[in-house]
Every structure is written in structure tokens, then in C-alpha cells.
Chain A
Amino acid sequence: MTEFRNKNFIRKISSKIPLILLFASVLNEYDFNYLGLKYFSFNFSYILIFYYSLKKSESLGYIYIFIAGLFNDVVMGTPIGLSSLMYLILCGAAAYLRNITLRPSLIKDCIFFLITILIINSLLFMALNFIFNYNLDYLDQIINITYTFLLYFLFSNLFDFFETYLVGRTNAG
């Protein structure tokens, strides 16, 4: 009885981990800027949202993603609602890919992810530059997109491992 209750608790906690990671990433910005690496930055929240909207859409509710976007705007100092919009477009793209995919493959997911983040960052750049008069460095955006795309391979495998061996095992139990 106690073992059953423990497993239930672990299952509940592990199912909330993507959500915890999402809020931790928007509040904390995992960007390793303190290392002083000039040409390194990536957007962890984009990877997380795209992966979970594509593979396990029930793990991250749209409303949580919307709130996370609001939090991100406050932390970054960008106009409130902008990140939410970008996150939701990312979710929409992932949901569309999920609907049209018959045989999932990591390469196809990655290429679709790259196209989506290129569109999203272009929208973000245009909105911030032309509507809200923020100055952004074009090179920084390109670097951010490149590393976000490259790290999708790594994080996708990590999340797969997490879902299969940690969440899956507790579910099976």
C-alpha cells in the first residue's frame, strides 16, 4: 500500500517536471552568460515547449505556457504579451507537425523546429525593432537561433530518456 502510494507520488512529481523546468527557465534564463562566452547563447524554453507540445502535449498546458511567456517578458523587460505570443505560435507549429506526422523522426522534427524558430525570431525582431523601438543585435539573434537549433538534438534525446526511463517506468509500475 505504502509502495503504491510512493509510486503514485513520484509519478505525479515526474509528470510536473517539464512544467517546473519551464518556469525555472523563464525565471532564471539558462544562458551561461557569466562564463563570458561571447558567441554562445540559447533559448532553453523554446526547446522545452516545442518538444513537449510535439511529443507529450498534455504535460504542458497552453495556459501555463501563456503565463510562462508573461513571466519571461517581465524578466527580460520586453513588452508584456510578446513572449506568450511567440511561445503559443511555437506550440501551434508543434501541434501542426504532430497532426501531419505519420512516422516521427528526429531529423524532420529538428528541421521543422529550425524553420519555426527562424519565423518566431524574425517576428520577435520585427516587433521589437519596428513597433516597440528596441535595438537588437542581429548577430546575437543568429547565434541564439543556431545554438537553440543545435542543442535541440541533445535536449530531445535527454527528454526522450527522461520520459522513457523515468516517467515511463513509474507509469508502468
Chain B
Amino acid sequence: MESSRDDFIIAIRSAFLKKGTKQRFSLLSLIFFSIIFLILGSLNFKAINYVKIGIKEIVYRSSFIVSSPENFIKDNYLLVQNHLNLYKENEKNKSELASLISKDLLNKFIILENKRLKKIIDDYLVKSNTIIAKVLSDKGSPFLKSIIINKGSKHNINLGMVAMDGAYLVGKVVEVNYFSSRILLLSDLNSKIPVIVEPNEVFSILSGTGEAYGVIQYSKKYEDIKSESIIYTSGAGSLFKAGIPIGRINSNYLSEEKKVEFFSDFSQLKFVKIVSFLKDEIE
């Protein structure tokens, strides 16, 4: 009994304290070092923050280069898939286009009318500053849904700015470095944004699930949310401008969950618009 305990201690001591061949540090010292790194990092220690920024700048660029072979395979895989779906999509697009053209005319009228009415009630219009950024890396890992873009504080990117794919919302800036930034996608488990579900004007919170869809949560008028309803940002809490389209309800009658199918495909983002919305004076 005594000797087996001794053997265990010797094996543990040898594993953690002994420096192996060609090893400059013992395992235990590096473990302590990483714990110190972790603690100081969470306490926002200045020196660690500088090291972090340095590592991030190097890693984001290297990751983009290292990922290029996988990205090449991924792009080709998606290209083949797109070709296979081309005929079906074309038929669907034709019918959608016809109905959209008629809706567009109506929309133009509504926009003008909206501006006129806002002017009457003395509300403010919103002006936006747009920066186009290239997606350096899209780490769609099971643990975190985020993308890295090639614009940072040097290009006037700030925390909380909105990332859009065309007219659709994709996420917001959660980390800004000098030459790069990280965008937390709407599909991430940690993403929660105030939204409005139209028609029926249901205010709610859209939460990410870690999958390709989001879910509607914390709503009192849950039963008013119908399938195919459209989700827009509500503008509550001044986080986002109101009325940015996000997705469509795709609820399964067998499940209670109100699933949101995003308009933008986050796995195929190449460029995103980084937008900050400011209040504008009405002429």
C-alpha cells in the first residue's frame, strides 16, 4: 500500500517537475504561468493586455494564411453545392422577383410617406457611417460563432458597432484591435438582442443557439408570433437602429420553440458592412 502510493507520487513528480529531453521549462512552471496569465488577463492587467493585443494581431493574420487551403476546399464544396441547386433556385427566384417588383413600388411610397410623417411629429432620422471589411477568419466552431475582420481601431471601428451583410444584420463588434476586430454573430449562444416580430408588433429577445438558427425568448405575446413572421431589430436599449431585417420565423408545429431562420448565411460571409448609426437632424 505504502509502496504503491510512493510509486504514484514519484510518477506524478517526474511528470510535472522533471524537465524532459529538449524541454526548457518544467510542466508545473508553465501550468503556473498559464494560471497567472489567466488571472491577470481577467483582471485587465495592462501588461497582459498589451501582450494579448500583440498575439491577436499576429494570430489573426496567420490564421487567415493557414486557413487558405481549407477555405479553398470549402469554397469549392459550396460552389458545387450551389451549382446543384441552381435550377431549383432560379425557378423560385423568378416567382419571388415578380412579387417583389410590385412590392418595391409600394415600399418607395411608404419610405417617402414615413419621412414626411416623422418630420411632422418632430422625430429624428438616422444617419449611418459605413466601413466595408473583409472577413479574415470565420471560426464556426461548436463553442463560439464569431468572425474576424480586417478593420480595427485604426479604421475607426468601435465596440458595439453593427455588422451587416447587405441589408441584413449579422452581429456586432465585441473586440477591437488595431488592425482587426471580432464580430459576435447572432447565432452565438451568448448573443441576445431586442427585436420586434411583425406582423402583430411583438417585442421580444432573439437569442443565438450555437446552431444556424436563433430562437425568440422572453415574450409575453408568444401566441401572437405566427410562422413566416419577419424579425426586425426593435431599437430598444439603443443597441441597434430599429427596423434592420434579421430573419423569418420558421416554427415547427411539433415544437414550442419559435425558431428564427436568418436571412444571411453566416457560413458564407466574405465581406461585411460595419455600421454606426447616429442621430441626424431633419432638414
Are the CB atoms of A81 and B35 closer together than 8 Å?
yes
Are A77 and B16 in contact, with the CB atoms below 8 A? no
Of the listed stretches A5-13, A21-29, A106-114, A157-165, chain B binds: A21-29
Query: CB within 8 A of A135: which of B42, B63, B78, B189?
Result: B189
Whether the pair A80, B38 counts as a contact (CB closer than 8 A) is: yes
For chain B, residues 136 to 169, give those with C-beta under 8 angstroms from any C-beta of chain A.
Answer: 137, 139-144, 146
| A76 pairs with B24, CB closer than 8 A | no
Of the stretches B26-34, B127-135, B224-232, B252-260, the one at the interface is B26-34
**Is there contact, CB below 8 Å, between B144 and A77?**
yes
Q: Does A88 interact with chain B (Cβ within 8 Å)?
A: yes
Contact check, B60 vs A80: say whether CB atoms are below 8 A apart: no
A43 nearest CB across to chain B (Å)? 10
Out of B12, B56, B189, B211, which one reaches A96, CB within 8 Å?
Answer: B12
User: At the interface, yes or no: B23 with Cβ under 8 Å from chain A?
Assistant: yes
**Bound complex: CA A27 to CA B120 (Å):** 55
CB pair B41 A135 closer than 8 Å: no
Tell me the minimal C-beta distance from B251 to chain A in angstroms: 19
Q: Which residue of A lies closest to B14 (CB)?
A: A99
What are 7 sample pairs from A and B whose C-beta atoms fall under 8 A apart? A33-B142, A38-B211, A61-B24, A79-B42, A81-B38, A96-B11, A137-B209
Contacts of A123-138 to chain B: CB distance below 8 A: 131-132, 134-137
B30: chain A residues at CB < 8 Å are 62-63, 66, 84, 88
Specify which of B22, B42, B48, B63 is in contact with A58 (CB 8 Å cutoff): B22
Instruction: Say yes or no: is A150 at the interface (Cβ < 8 Å to chain B).
Output: no
Determine whether B124 belongs to the interface, using a CB cutoff of 8 Å to chain A.
no
B52 at the interface (CB under 8 A from A): yes
Chain A residues near B (Cβ < 8 Å): 23-24, 27-31, 33-36, 38, 41, 57-58, 61-63, 66, 69-71, 74-82, 84-85, 88-89, 91-93, 95-96, 98-100, 131-132, 134-137, 140-141, 143-144
Residues of B178-193 contacting chain A, CB below 8 A: 182, 189-190
Please give 14 more A-B residue pairs, beta carbons under 8 A apart, in addition to A82-B34, A95-B20.
A27-B59, A33-B267, A41-B142, A62-B25, A63-B24, A63-B25, A74-B52, A80-B38, A81-B41, A93-B15, A96-B15, A99-B14, A140-B210, A143-B142
How long is the Cα–Cα vector from A65 to B27 in the complex, in angstroms? 10
Residues of chain B within 8 A (CB-CB) of A96 are 11-12, 15
Decide if A27 touches B141 in the complex (CB within 8 Å).
Answer: no
Query: What is the minimal beta-carbon distance from A171 to any residue of chain B, in angstroms?
Result: 15
Please tell me if the beta carbons of B77 and A34 are within 8 angstroms of each other in the complex.
yes
Stretch in B66-74, B92-100, B110-118 touching the partner: B66-74
Interface residues of B, CB < 8 Å — how many? 56
SS class of chain B's interface: helix, strand, loop or mixed?
Answer: helix
Going nearest first, the 7 A-B pairs with the smallest beta carbon separation are A81-B37, A81-B38, A95-B15, A140-B142, A135-B189, A84-B34, A99-B11
B184 to chain A, nearest CB (A): 8
Closest to B37 in A: A81
Asked if A140 and B31 sit within 8 Å, CB to CB, the answer is no
Q: Which of B2-27 contact A (CB under 8 A)?
A: 7, 10-12, 14-16, 20-27
The answer to whether A58 touches B190, judged by C-beta atoms less than 8 angstroms apart, is: no
The yes or no answer to B55 lying at the interface (CB within 8 A) is yes
User: In the complex, which residues of chain B have a beta carbon less than 8 angstroms from the beta carbon of A69?
Assistant: 34
Most A C-beta atoms less than 10 A away, residue of B12, B34, B141, B144: B34
Within 8 Å of chain A (Cβ to Cβ): is B198? no
Q: A134: which B residues are within 8 A, CB to CB?
A: 189-190
Asked if B21 and A57 sit within 8 Å, CB to CB, the answer is: yes
CB proximity of A142 to chain B, nearest CB, Å: 10
**Nearest-CB residue, chain B, relative to A88:** B31
Question: Would you give the shortest CB distance from A58 to chain B, in whole angstroms?
Answer: 5
Chain A residues lying within 8 Å of B31, measured Cβ to Cβ, are 85, 88-89, 92
